[in-house]
Amino acid sequence: MRRLFEMKIKTSRIRQSLVAMVMFLAFCYGHQSRAVTGWEQATQVPPVKEGTGQKNSTGATEQTPAHKYFTDVVLINQNGEKMRLYSDLLRGKVVIINSFFATCQGSCLPMNRNLEKVQAALGDHVGKEVFIISISVDPLVDSPASLKEYAKKLHARPGWYFLTGDKPNVDFALNKLGQFVSDKQDHLNIFIIGNERTGLWKKAFGLAQSNELVKVVESVLNDKPADAK
């Protein structure tokens, strides 16, 4: 009953998040949408090929639309390392993205336990082909050290980043990903699963069965560029 109740009260937030995702993808690239029944939502957007940036009058390569949209706002991972949102975390990668906070007494831990199961199911793909990006909505409390302890509880392996940083930077990144909330208790229980190389992005309910989430991740991982299909 608790799970059903939680799904019910989160419906409006999920809807808002899906709308935000479609809006930011449209802003980045222009897109074609394809409806998906059930709890999974997919958006297919044209990929931006590496090395296709145009040269400007000074001979420097201009940023791709994705780079311009996401920017290289700096976040900090659980090891205290600075990471740029687009260049280090998204570019050319398959990613699973969620938001949470470490002191959450509600859905955050079960949601991240689901990611732990997804990590186990994907095996060696994590850290090589697939990367997990968990961004704190409470950066004033969630320090790199506290996130490192949190990551240990989840047996996080290399390739799973727990991110915090200066609050304006974190808020900016969350906003770009359609995950920003003004009250941390309103964080979204949504995973964004994307293949930046091919332009396929999906959303899935983070408290769904882990085996169903693995199927979504695998479908995104196995997506091929249009010219290879």
**pLDDT digit string (tens) for 15-26?**
444 444 444 444
Is it the case that residue 54 has pLDDT exceeding 90? Answer: no
What's this model's pTM, rounded to 2 decimal places?
0.78
Superfamily (CATH) of domain 2-48+64-224: Glutaredoxin (3.40.30.10)
Average pLDDT over residues 15-43: 41
* Gyration radius of the chain's alpha carbons: 17
Which residues have a Cβ under 8 Å from the Cβ of 40 and sit 6 or more positions away? 202, 203, 204, 216
Is it the case that residue 88 has pLDDT exceeding 60? Answer: yes
Q: What pLDDT is attached to residue 11?
A: 38
User: Which long-range CB contacts under 8 A does 138-145 form with residues at least 24 apart?
Assistant: 138/101, 138/102, 138/103, 138/184, 139/164, 139/165, 139/166, 139/167, 139/170, 140/167, 141/101, 141/102, 141/103, 142/101, 142/102, 142/103, 144/76, 144/77, 144/78, 144/79, 144/80, 145/80
Is it the case that residue 64 has pLDDT exceeding 50? Answer: yes
- Percent of the chain whose pLDDT exceeds 70: 72
d(CA 114, CA 122): 12
HEC letters along 133-157:
EEEECCCCCCCHHHHHHHHHHCCCC
Q: What pLDDT is attached to residue 201?
A: 95
Token readout for 19 is 């709308």
Which of 54-63, 129-138, 168-177 is the least confident region? 54-63
Is it the case that residue 198 has pLDDT exceeding 80? Answer: yes
d(CA 174, CA 165): 12
d(CA 67, CA 207): 30
Q: What is the pLDDT of residues 104-154, one digit of tens each?
A: 999 999 999 999 999 999 999 999 999 999 999 999 999 999 999 999 999
d(CA 103, CA 142): 8
Q: Given pLDDT bands bounded at 50, 70 and 90, which one contains residue 187?
A: very high
Q: Given pLDDT bands bounded at 50, 70 and 90, which one contains residue 62?
A: confident
Which of 1-5, 67-71, 90-94, 172-176 is the least confident region? 1-5
Mean pLDDT of the chain: 81
Is it the case that residue 85 has pLDDT exceeding 80? Answer: yes
Contact 180, 171 (CB under 8 A): yes
